[in-house]
């Protein structure tokens, strides 16, 4: 068996002096970690600075977009007001035209006789003085002379010509008249 030498302790320490101590190793690891954290922080700062720069640029563009939106809205309001005034003008013109048509229909309804030669119940009878000439009845005017401008000759009322009855429908169709007066034709198969 080999012998163990418990000899001198001084000889062992110089052999151990060549190896690094645990404290130095820990210091190197802590310094490397701090360097790594510093590098990560620097990279994060650079990306944060770039992000803030991009955010400022986007905010500036959004402000321009807001101004652009206000200009568009103002122009749309102008166009809308123009169209609205045109529609109001057309509406008033249409209402005026409808009123004129209604008045014309009312006058025609009053003056137009029915097919039998009799006037409609609401129609006014033309007076004899209005339809006579000055030469026929100068005394009917109550002493006014023919040269005075107060006398106007009115034309004789027109007589409505009775229209012919509608042609008989084809034998291929059946005529259906509803109680409200509407007439429909249905094809017979």
> For 9-18, what is each residue's pLDDT tens digit?
555 555 455 5
Least confident piece of the model among 21-25, 76-80, 121-125:
121-125
| Residue appearing with tokens 């529609």 | 87
Predicted local confidence at residue 156, as pLDDT: 62
- The beta-strand segments (E) located in the chain are 173-177, 183-187
- In whole angstroms, what is the distance from residue 185 CA to residue 171 CA? 11
Per-residue pLDDT, averaged over 29-41, amounts to 96
> For 43-87, what is each residue's pLDDT tens digit?
999 999 999 999 999 999 988 988 898 899 888 888 888 888 888
Predicted local confidence at residue 7, as pLDDT: 57
Which residues make beta-bridge pairs with 187? 173
Q: Indicate the DSSP class of residue 132.
A: S
């Amino acid at each position: 068996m080999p012998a163990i030498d418990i000899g001198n302790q001084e000889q062992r320490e110089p052999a151990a002096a060549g190896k690094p101590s645990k404290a130095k190793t820990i210091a190197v690891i802590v310094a490397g970690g701090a360097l790594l954290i510093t590098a990560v922080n620097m990279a994060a700062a650079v990306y944060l600075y770039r992000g803030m720069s991009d955010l400022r640029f986007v905010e500036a563009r959004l402000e321009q977009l807001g101004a652009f939106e206000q200009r568009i809205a103002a122009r749309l309001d102008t166009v809308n007001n123009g169209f609205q005034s045109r529609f109001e003008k057309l509406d008033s013109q249409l209402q005026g035209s409808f009123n004129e048509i209604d008045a014309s229909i009312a006058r025609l309804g009053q003056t137009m006789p029915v097919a039998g030669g009799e006037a409609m119940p609401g129609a006014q009878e033309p007076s004899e003085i209005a339809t006579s000439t000055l030469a026929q009845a100068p005394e009917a005017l109550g002493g006014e002379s023919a040269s005075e401008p107060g006398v106007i000759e009115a034309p004789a009322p027109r007589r409505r010509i009775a229209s012919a009855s509608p042609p008989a429908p084809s034998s291929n169709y059946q005529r259906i008249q509803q109680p409200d007066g509407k007439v429909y034709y249905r094809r017979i198969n």
